[in-house]
Amino acid sequence: MIKDSLAKALNDQINAEYYSAYLYLTMSAYADRLGYKGIANWLGVQAKEELAHGTHIYHYLLERGAAPSFQDIKAPQVSYGSLQEIFEKVLAHERKVTELVNRIADLALNEKDHAAYHFIRWYVDEQVEEEADAEDLALKFSRIGNNPGQLYPLDAQLGMRRFTDPFPV
Ligand code: OFO
């Protein structure tokens, strides 16, 4: 049975993951409405991944005999000044999520809950990849700015991203 402190931290993380999905969907809608369907696709795939991350924690809590709890999901910002701003915010958000995940890993170690530590390690590794992708895109968008000649090839490239369920059953 998982300790209450860890169950609470994991429940909070479900909320953070679902909030991430909300956030990326608002960004996706913004890009879509500007006509950048590829960028909208990339952000939409990101939103699906976040939902999968949250749901995976939900199943884990059940497996460990704890009750998943559902909290209000904060409404994200819906309007943005530019695509560059979006990707700066993606990067800032991913860095924040990394801190949250690291705190859970610390807690699992303090509680000597090796199973929970093993579980959350997946998220620790995932955040390394997510931060690297976000850094790469934030840099690209800061260089490109609003130059349509360069935005369209990047849009086409980001349109190739496809969702792969990280936890297939
Ligand atoms: Fe859930 O992967 Fe980033 O935030």
**Does any domain span residue 11?**
yes
pLDDT above 90 (res 72):
yes
* CB neighbour list of residue 18: distance below 8 Å, 6 or more residues apart: 50, 51, 54, 73
**Does any domain span residue 30?**
yes
Q: What's the CA-to-centroid distance between 149 and ligand 1, angstroms?
A: 31
User: Could you tell me the sign of the dihedral formed by the alpha carbons of 87, 89, 145, 152, in that order?
Assistant: positive
Q: What is the pLDDT of residue 166?
A: 96
Q: What's the CA-to-centroid distance between 49 and ligand 1, angstroms?
A: 7
pLDDT above 90 (res 154):
yes
**Does any domain span residue 150?**
yes
**Does any domain span residue 51?**
yes
Chain segment 74-107, per-residue pLDDT in tens: 999 888 999 999 999 999 999 999 999 999 999 9
Report the number of distinct structural domains present in the chain.
1
Nearest residue to 82 (alpha-carbon basis) of 154, 138, 5? 138
Chain segment 132-153, per-residue pLDDT in tens: 999 999 999 999 988 888 999 9
Q: What's the CA-to-centroid distance between 50 and ligand 1, angstroms?
A: 6
Domain CATH number, residue 56: 1.20.1260.10
* Residue to mutate, 22, 53, 95, 122, ligand 1, most ligand atoms under 8 Å from C-beta: 53
Give the residue numbers spanning the domain of 101: 4-158
Contact call for residues 94 and 130 (beta carbons, < 8 A): yes
Ligand 1 contacts (CB < 6 A) are 17, 20, 50, 53, 94, 97, 126-127, 130
